[in-house]
Structure 1
Amino acid sequence: MTDQLPLQRFNHWLEQQPDAVWLRQPVAGVWHDFTWRQVDDQARRLASALLALGCAPGDRVALLAKNCAEWFISDIALQMAGLTSVPLYPLQAPEQIAYVLEHADCKVILVGKLDEPDKLATGIAPHITRIAMPYPTMPTAHDWHSLLARHEPLAGTREQQAEELLSILYTSGTTGAPKGVMLSAGAMARSAAWATSELGIGPRDQFFSYLPLSHAAERFLVQFNSLYSGAPTAFVESLETFASDLRHVRPTVFFSVPRLWTRFQLGVLEKLPQARLDRLLRIPLLGRLVARKIRAGLGLDRARILVSGAAAISTGLLEWYRRIGLTVCEGYGMTEHFAYGCFNRPGQVRFGSVGRPMPNLELRIAEDGEILFRSQTLMQGYYRDPEKTAEALRDGWLHTGDKGAVDGDGYLRITGRVKDIFKTSKGKYVAPAPIEGEIAKCQWVEQVCLMGSNLDQPLALIELSPAARQQSREQVAADLQTHLAVLNSHLEPHERVSHFVLVREPWTVDNGCMTPTMKIRRNVLEARYVDLIERLPAHQPLLWE
């Protein structure tokens, strides 16, 4: 398996289990199954159509759609035709879509389910050919079913090469223009082959796809791990049906991001308030029954591998899930190595860490604390950007830009960003990540952003957790003030936090406070709260915005 490239792996399952279901797609509440044989037929027809439309091997083709079976089919078709996929985030601004399409010189775009298709259409230049997946979407030159019906399946099997450019994944970035990460067929293949082998994922497992496939994490953890394990993947139909779809599918492998793990917790607490849940869980037999019912209600009663990634998750939230019998394994990876990084394996979890390196991945901490990776899963470079490529890839090592520390057992902790360190007005440097990690241990904290550039002392902006909103303001305030006092007792004088500022408005992708991969945009928050910060009362360490 480890030496099979993606098309070879697809053909392996096509030979071994042609009539087994690989993809499950709900449409208007009805589930439609796609076998490996059916995926092969549709992918070959689409590959034939793309070549007939003038695409030549090596050309770039964009994918702009929410998760669906046809996304996977399209990706296989592009590989069959020797084309390079350029996934686009379905909630991107039209200006960013236009930038990526022009930068990658895309000839064709496949569009599918979108929330605001007419708005996004303004970012697609007229010369780019549009093909519609079989869902309501923007006006296109070709629709899925008629296009496939007009073309015979592509004959033969193309010999995929390990070093060929399979996909360009554009990073969302916290600042600046997106960078196009060039990933080869070999790099993407090794990531999935090694991961599925290490975690023992096989055809009897079940994936559930709902996070954007334009991001390396979902593409690696779900799409490619499904392809390499032979396990079926089911898709969510819509936001409204998410909960019922998840309960219907009951995945054995489930990936989410911290913000959504918090949302799942909120759904539980809306039905069963924290105080009552705490009482029930303390009763031995009844507690186990309640926990089992909660797991079933979430649709995670069969889940054996639960993953959190893309951003830091609070240990308080991880502990909450462990109490109901769900151990969430935090991991760490980047687009630049197809998310193949460090991971807390089931049964080998250390909260507060992002786990140990995966097989065949070398980890090194540079003298300045920067995390370096070396592996055969690394990117080829940034598309059309040799300068940034040379900066990121040096002597075979990927310079992540993140800082970390490794304990005696090999577990990695993220301690900050190389460029996130700020200087207070006293001329002292402060690394925010370790302090943010300590603040996030409080159960009332969902997200935190420490800032202090040119201030006398750092301060923390805090978005409260759903559980906090169910408590009295007095209780939350008292606990946070205690937490602040304990925190400061362990910090150096120049690191001590002057204020906890509890913000009203959630930080989201829509309001620009977070990237599409759910990372906090520190510069946006600093600009947004600058006026508030300037008038903080010195005598009031806890402030409700």
Structure 2
Amino acid sequence: MKHLLLQAINRYAQEQPHKTALRGVDQSLNYHQLAKRILWLSQSFQDKRIQRLALHGQNSIDLAVADIAAWCSDIPCIPLPTFFSPQQISHCVRDSQPDLILTDQPDSFASFMPHTYSEIPLFELNSLTALRCLSHPRQIPPIPLETCKITYTSGTTGEPKGVCLSSQAIEEVMQTLLEASQGSRNEQHLCLLPLSTLLENIGGLYTPLLAGATTHLYPPRHLGMADLRQINCRVVLETIQRHHITTTILVPHLLHVLCAELSAAHEKSPATLRFIAVGGAVMPSALLEWAHQLGLPVYEGYGLSECASVICLNTPQASRRGSVGKPLPHIRVKLAEDGEVLVKGALFSGYLGSPITPTSDWWNTGDLGRMDEEGYLYIHGRKKHMFITSQGRNISPEWIEREFIAHPDIAQIVVFGEGKPWPIALIVPRQGEEPESSRPPLSHTLHTINQRLPEYARIRAWLLSPCPLTPSNGMLTTNGRPRRDAIWAYFGDKLAALEPVDFIHYAA
């Protein structure tokens, strides 16, 4: 099979052999070296007769090269997010049955899969340990023939699902992303999200290499992001300035931290930054406005794993605040009668081990939205999250959450209200640098934000969470969305007992 990305890398190995393709903490590869490394590793995979490869590690050059080499060898690649719990990792491995795992954390596998995989030498990669499956013969679940990547999405409930993607779907997305972002060989892209995240994998690794640009790959600790609850965004800004970074991809939480750091230092956006794509969760309008005031070139987008990541994107040529942009050229979007977003084009090939497969008809995304007369899409929230109050009002919780999460005193908020006369919320306050006594009471903050909402949508009672909501404690999905069923199962009794009062309730 001809691979568009490999063809581009080989072409640049001839045209610009000394141009840096990948830059890490203590090494870099130019395009000539990258092409040779891919060839060597592809041959090694073939010699070992690898059928499925799983990757588990922090961002690094070795991880990126292994990913590309697997794709170019027609070996399905299975990224295993490091932020998955051991139970989730174990499920993904049992579900996908890779015969080789490359990881920079071999001890974590030994703790919960001690008799399944054994270490073998793989001299092409210095920072990753190779674990070969010991159990033969294995029950290998079938996958669609065209599958090149199995990306796991935890959704909001249940165990992670393996989304099978074809080379054609991924190539269509990276080509249109390159065109939409007006990328060139001059780009310096900084990966701030894990490569196991499909958006960063395609938008931050494949797309810059397709353009002949440079991708910077550093582990979280090198970027001041070892603890996502206490991100040192000054380190991120220094990295951007030192390497003249032009593009990056953020989730709204990272954008908020970046805005807060710039504001506290009375600074504006680094001059070299020209394109910041933001997606993965709802974008508060106030956060977007804050970013633009600081000069940050933020462009909100929208996508799904089932559509090989990006569906819509605001761009320098066509942008409208509050929207997620227009559909990219490779995909079509329309709305159902109830407002659900339907898509066609670059769809996944099916879920691993599931009879559910997309057809040639429109795919139901499960998201509610509207489209204006010029084709810009606006997302309101998940269809299944909609609740009806006892007053008969249909409310999307994401709409309310979007207003509150932009406030600097609120780190996280999850809204409920089914059958209640008013919405209720679980809140995680933001830990700021200023003393607690210098801040206004949270009740004052909530009252101020409530004034922006109609009476029926105002939060009348709330509960403070004793800890942040994270993927590791089962309260968030891997891309940062709240797992509402899990949150309600844990806090539901206390939330249901709340009455509309003016003081704050604390969870035990």
TM (norm. structure 1) is 0.80
Q: 1:431 to 1:34 in 2, by over 3 A?
A: same
The answer to which of 412-421 and 525-534 deviates more is 525-534
Q: Report the counterpart of residue 254 of structure 2 in structure 1.
A: 260
Could you tell me how far 1:213 is from its partner in structure 2?
Answer: 1.4
Matches for 1:123-202 after TM superposition, within 5 Å = 123-124=112-113, 126-128=115-117, 130=119, 134=125, 164-202=146-184
Q: Report the counterpart of residue 364 of structure 2 in structure 1.
A: 399
Out of 116, 120, 129, the position equivalent to 2:109 is: 120
Out of 308, 327, 336, the position equivalent to 1:366 is: 336
Percentage of identical aligned residues: 29
Q: Report the counterpart of residue 232 of structure 1 in structure 2.
A: 214
- C-alpha contact (below 8 Å) 2:172/2:330 kept by paired residues: no
Q: Report the counterpart of residue 282 of structure 1 in structure 2.
A: none
- C-alpha contact (below 8 Å) 2:189/2:208 kept by paired residues: yes
Work out the CA distance in 1 between the residues paired with 2:37 and 2:288: 42
The amino acid across from 1:96 in the alignment is Q
Out of 459, 480, 484, the position equivalent to 1:522 is: 484
Work out the CA distance in 2 between the residues paired with 1:47 and 1:130: 19
- C-alpha contact (below 8 Å) 1:110/1:130 kept by paired residues: no
Could you tell me how far 1:22 is from its partner in structure 2?
Answer: 0.4
How many residues align structurally?
481
Could you tell me how far 1:462 is from its partner in structure 2?
Answer: 3.3
Q: Report the counterpart of residue 92 of structure 1 in structure 2.
A: 84
Q: 1:340 to 1:476 in 2, by over 3 A?
A: same
Q: Report the counterpart of residue 229 of structure 2 in structure 1.
A: none
Kindly indicate whether residue 373 of structure 2 is the aligned counterpart of residue 408 of structure 1: yes
Alignment deviations for residues 315-355 of structure 1 (CA, whole Å, 9 cap, x no partner): 22222222221132111101111112111113643332211
Kindly indicate whether residue 202 of structure 2 is the aligned counterpart of residue 207 of structure 1: no
Q: Report the counterpart of residue 98 of structure 2 in structure 1.
A: 106
Alignment deviations for residues 13-71 of structure 1 (CA, whole Å, 9 cap, x no partner): 223222221011113xxxx220122122222222222222232xxx2111111111112
Alignment deviations for residues 428-476 of structure 1 (CA, whole Å, 9 cap, x no partner): 6433223333444555444332102343422133334567967844365
Q: Report the counterpart of residue 300 of structure 2 in structure 1.
A: 330
Out of 417, 440, 459, the position equivalent to 1:497 is: 459
Matches for 1:253-402 after TM superposition, within 5 Å = 253-268=247-262, 272=265, 277=266, 290-291=267-268, 295=269, 300-346=270-316, 348-375=318-345, 377-386=346-355, 388-389=356-357, 393-402=358-367
Q: For 2:428, what is the secondary structure of its paired residue?
A: strand
Matches for 1:482-493 after TM superposition, within 5 Å = 482-489=448-455, 491=456
Name stretches of at least 5 consecutive residues in structure 2 with no aligned partner. Answer: 134-143, 225-234
TM (norm. structure 2) is 0.86
Work out the CA distance in 2 between the residues paired with 1:202 and 1:326: 20
Out of 43, 52, 58, the position equivalent to 2:47 is: 52
Q: Report the counterpart of residue 155 of structure 1 in structure 2.
A: none
- C-alpha contact (below 8 Å) 1:43/1:74 kept by paired residues: yes
The amino acid across from 1:62 in the alignment is A
Name stretches of at least 5 consecutive residues in structure 1 with no aligned partner. Answer: 143-161, 278-289
The answer to which of 400-409 and 90-99 deviates more is 90-99
Q: Report the counterpart of residue 449 of structure 1 in structure 2.
A: 414
Work out the CA distance in 1 between the residues paired with 2:426 and 2:116: 46
Out of 420, 426, 440, the position equivalent to 1:474 is: 440
Work out the CA distance in 2 between the residues paired with 1:141 and 1:187: 29
Could you tell me how far 1:85 is from its partner in structure 2?
Answer: 0.8
Could you tell me how far 1:500 is from its partner in structure 2?
Answer: 4.5
Q: For 2:25, what is the secondary structure of its paired residue?
A: strand
- C-alpha contact (below 8 Å) 2:209/2:215 kept by paired residues: no
Kindly indicate whether residue 397 of structure 2 is the aligned counterpart of residue 432 of structure 1: yes
Could you tell me how far 1:481 is from its partner in structure 2?
Answer: 0.9
Work out the CA distance in 2 between the residues paired with 1:541 and 1:383: 48
Q: For 1:122, what is the secondary structure of its paired residue?
A: helix
- C-alpha contact (below 8 Å) 2:443/2:503 kept by paired residues: no
